Amino acid sequence: MAKRTIVAMPGDGIGKVVLDEAIRVLDAAGFDAEYVTGDIGWEFWCKEGNPLPDRTIELLKKHKIALFGAITSKPKDKAAAELAPELQGKGFTYYSPIVSMRQMFDLDICQRPCRTFKGNPLNFIRRGKGNTIDEPVIDTMIFRQNTEGLYGGVEWTNPPDVVYDALMTHPKFKENFAWCPRPELAVSTRIFTKKYTTRIVKAAFEYAKEKGFKTVTVCEKPNVIRETSGMMLKVAQEMSKNEYPDIRVQDVNIDAQMMWLTKNPETYNVIVAGNMFGDIVSDGFAGLVGGLGFACSANIGPEVAVFEPTHGSAPKYAEYPTSIVNPIAMVMSACMMLDHIGEGAMAERIRKAIAEVVEEGKALAYDMMKLSGSPDVVNQGAASTRQMADAIIAKLN
């Protein structure tokens, strides 16, 4: 195996802690790589007025594969106040480096797997027949369109004339919203393009085909949001008919899906959705299999791919002398990276080690013990971040 170069972007807060542990696990699994550090996050906003410096963009262009911890974002007024004094008043504006990265590198395919680990005390349970407890095995991959839709950033408060006039040409707008004074009108658009809708739907079908699943669920709301959700459903139905005759399309509205996920989550294996509904449904499913400590993701574009846990920087835990956060989400994101670069067997080995640690139940991060986070959890028997990673490494050896 040729030595790889991976861009390691720790970001802020616990991002660095979990990324370091994931790299230790990768090393222990025998992944032969060199890591170059990509600066990203709040620290670089404050020091340089740019949370995604050009040098990081260059590293991503050059090496193409990145592991990312998490960043801190703060509201507009805090962003302005925390900027270095010499940079203040010079026209710097804060923007989310994650959203920028996704748009800049066309990281349009977001994959968020939600799989049950046997023995995880955080697994979803329901009542079975009689008075039994039933613990469904969930194996769901969510394909979320990552660059368009409601998170596309095309929005206005007090829209300019051309936008307002265009809206007024729509009978529904004229009938229902023309009464509103313009300064009190906020508009966020939901733009879907056929090209990117097709790409995310195709990714879902390809995955279903590879894994032998017979259904792709489109989780949108085409009965109400007729143009955009309607486009995704239609693209999926045509793709099924023309390219994947053995894979059926199931149309489930996002609201109904949130109800079904606590009734029969095991029946959903492949879900595809737009940006916001994909975000919502993936958090919903993640809650059934362990929540933020277990939720991993991949952001994949035509050239560059970035792998990250879905949790944030958890600033309140960042300064603990002994870190308590669960590194599993980050380690599993690293496994998704291995899958992507053709090291699936190594990824499987790490996932198996995690499964053994969870099933054995000797090393439990505080979230798995359902404790609320505090430095004291280690005295209450919780494994630290490092101990969790050590337990995984021990199973690899």
Contact mark string toward ligand NAI, 241..280, x via CB under 6 A:
----------------------------------------
Judged by CB under 6 A, which stretch of 113-121, 226-234, 304-312, 346-354 contacts ligand NAI? Answer: 304-312
Give the helix ranges, DSSP H, for the chain: 14-28, 42-48, 54-63, 76-82, 97-104, 161-168, 171-177, 194-211, 228-242, 254-260, 275-288, 315-318, 328-340, 344-360, 385-396
Of 312, 318, 341, 396, which lies in the binding site for ligand NAI, with binding defined by CB under 6 A? Answer: 312
Closer residue to Mg ion in complex, CB, 103/250: 103
Does residue 308 belong to the site contacting Mg ion (CB under 5 A)?
Answer: no
Residue whose C-alpha is closest to residue 384's, from 86, 28, 369, 395: 369
Residue 269 interacts with which of Mg ion, ligand NAI, none, CB < 5 to 8 Å by class: none
The nearest distance, CB 266 to ligand NAI, in angstroms, is 25
Tell whether residue 148 is a contact of Mg ion (CB under 5 A).
no
How many residues sit close enough to ligand NAI to count as binding (CB under 6 A)? 19
Residue 283 Cβ, how far from ligand NAI at the closest point, in Å?
10
Work out whether 354 is an interface residue with ligand NAI (CB under 6 A). Answer: no
Q: Are 338 and 345 in contact (CB under 8 A)?
A: no
CB of 190 to Mg ion, least distance (A): 17
User: CB 22 → Mg ion: shortest distance, Å?
Assistant: 20
Task: Indicate the residue among 78 and 174 with the shorter CB distance to ligand NAI.
Answer: 78
- Partner touching 71 among Mg ion, ligand NAI, none, CB below 5 to 8 Å by kind: ligand NAI
Distance of alpha carbon 133 from alpha carbon 125, whole angstroms: 7
Q: What residues from 90 to 119 belong to the interface with ligand NAI (CB under 6 A)?
A: 98
The tokens describing 152, both together, are 């596309």
Give CA–CA dist 289/368, Å, rounded.
11
Provide the 10 A C-beta neighbour count for residue 224: 10
Q: How far apart are CA 158 and CA 181, in angstroms?
A: 9
User: Based on the number of CB atoms within 10 Å of its own CB, is 115 exposed (0-12), middle (13-18) or buried (19 or more)?
Assistant: middle
**Closest residue by beta carbon to ligand NAI:** 312
The nearer residue to Mg ion, 100 or 267, going by C-beta atoms, is 100
310, 15 in Cβ contact below 8 A? no
Does 39 sit near Mg ion (CB under 5 A)? Answer: no
Q: Which of 20, 108, 220, 279 binds Mg ion (CB under 5 A)?
A: 279
Angstrom distance (rounded) from CA 83 to CA 132: 57
- State the minimum distance, in angstroms, from the CB of residue 286 to Mg ion: 9
293 binds ligand NAI (CB under 6 A): yes
- Residue 279's binding partner among ligand NAI, Mg ion, none (Cβ under 5 to 8 angstroms by kind) is Mg ion
**What is the distance, to the nearest Å, from the Cα of residue 330 to the centroid of all Cα atoms in its chain?**
11
**How do 65-70 and 4-11 pair as beta strands?**
parallel
String marking each residue 50-79 x if it binds ligand NAI according to CB under 6 A: --------------------xxxx------
Q: State the nearest-atom distance from the C-beta of 235 to ligand NAI, in Å.
A: 28
What are the CA-CA distances from residue 350 to residues 123, 318, 334, 336 (Å)?
20, 26, 10, 11
Residue 17 CA to residue 325 CA, distance in Å, equals 9
Where do contacts with Mg ion occur on this chain (CB under 5 A)? 279
Binding site for ligand NAI (CB under 6 A): 70-73, 98, 292-293, 308, 311-316, 325-326, 329, 367, 373
